[in-house]
Structure formats: structure tokens, C-alpha cells
Amino acid sequence: MFLIGYITTTHGIKGEVKVKNLSDYDRFKAKQHVFINDQSWIIEHVKKQHDRLIVKFQNIDSMNDALLLKDQEIYVKDKPELDEAIHYQDLLGKSVYTTDDTYVGQVKFIREVPQGHLLEVDVNGSLKLIPFVDAFIKDIFEDKIIINLIEGLL
């Protein structure tokens, strides 16, 4: 079993809960099977709210039902295939290059912010932040990361 989230509290009166997503792979989808306290649950729907997810499970239809899930961990049975998932810890130490193959620096840390994640890259002894979003991250290989360099990024 692989830990993917943590239920922090209830949300509203219709059985929804707030979930802290602990996975770097999108595991929270409608009809997805998950496990809470060794019991199988099916996700009915998911919405994003700030840094949390609002999740509704099938057969949890009131705030009182949802209270029973508060402070519980959410697991999935199977680990995602490596070619489908990017694990943030695997990015540490990777070399960063631009699309024209110019060396930029090395990833030192992954910083979580409300908007998502930032790569902290050591560029000639100075730490620069690169948003970990499709607009900036073009490709990730086993040995390097390719970024779209825009004016003012570094």
C-alpha cells in the first residue's frame, strides 16, 4: 500500500472532506479505488481548493459520515509505473539545461508553495527558482531536465 493523502477535516454538509495530497502523481480521480483504514472506497468526485483537494467518496453523504474519516490516511494498492510518475526526490541533483542544450545548473531542493512546486537550482553559486509547471519544464530525462528559458527567469 502506498500513502497518497491525508484527510484533514470535513467540507460542507454533503459528505465531502478536505485532503492534503501527499502524492506527486495524480491519484485523486473520480471512480478511483482507494483505501482508508483497510477499507476500500471509491472517489465520487474531486475539486481543487487552494492547497487542498475536496473529495467526495461514494456512500459518504453527510457531515456526520465524513467526520468518521477525519484525520485518516488514504492509500492506493499499486505503485505508479515509473514512466508515468515523477517523484520529486528523483529530481534532486539532476542537471538543468535549456532547450538549446546550454547548462544552467543543478537541482538542489524542491520547494512547495501554495501555487505548486519550485525547483531550487544552483546557478553559478546562486540559487534560482524555476516553477515546476509545463510552461517552464519541457522534458525530464534520467540524467537531466530541459527547461524553456524565458527572459527574466534566471
Please report, for the chain, the start and end positions of each structural domain, with discontinuous segments joined by +: 2-76, 88-147
Residues 6 or more apart in contact with residue 135 via CB below 8 angstroms? 148
Does the pLDDT at position 85 exceed 70?
no
Return the C-alpha cell found at 12: 460542507
What does pTM read for this prediction? 0.54
Neighbouring C-beta atoms of residue 56, cutoff 10 Å: 19
The predicted pLDDT at position 10 comes to 95
Does the pLDDT at position 81 exceed 60?
no
Does the pLDDT at position 68 exceed 60?
yes
Residues 6 or more apart in contact with residue 56 via CB below 8 angstroms? 14, 15, 16, 17, 43, 44, 45, 46
- Give the mean model confidence (pLDDT) for residues 118-141: 88
Residues 6 or more apart in contact with residue 34 via CB below 8 angstroms? 4, 27, 40, 41, 42, 43, 74, 75, 76
Nearest residue to 23 via CA among 74, 82, 94: 74
CATH topology of domain 88-147: SH3 type barrels. (2.30.30)
Count CA atoms within 13 Å of residue 51 on its CB side: 10
**CA distance between the termini of the chain:** 40
- Give the mean model confidence (pLDDT) for residues 80-87: 55
Range 2-76: architecture per CATH: Beta Barrel (2.40)
Does the pLDDT at position 56 exceed 50?
yes
33: pLDDT confidence band, cut at 50, 70 and 90? Answer: very high
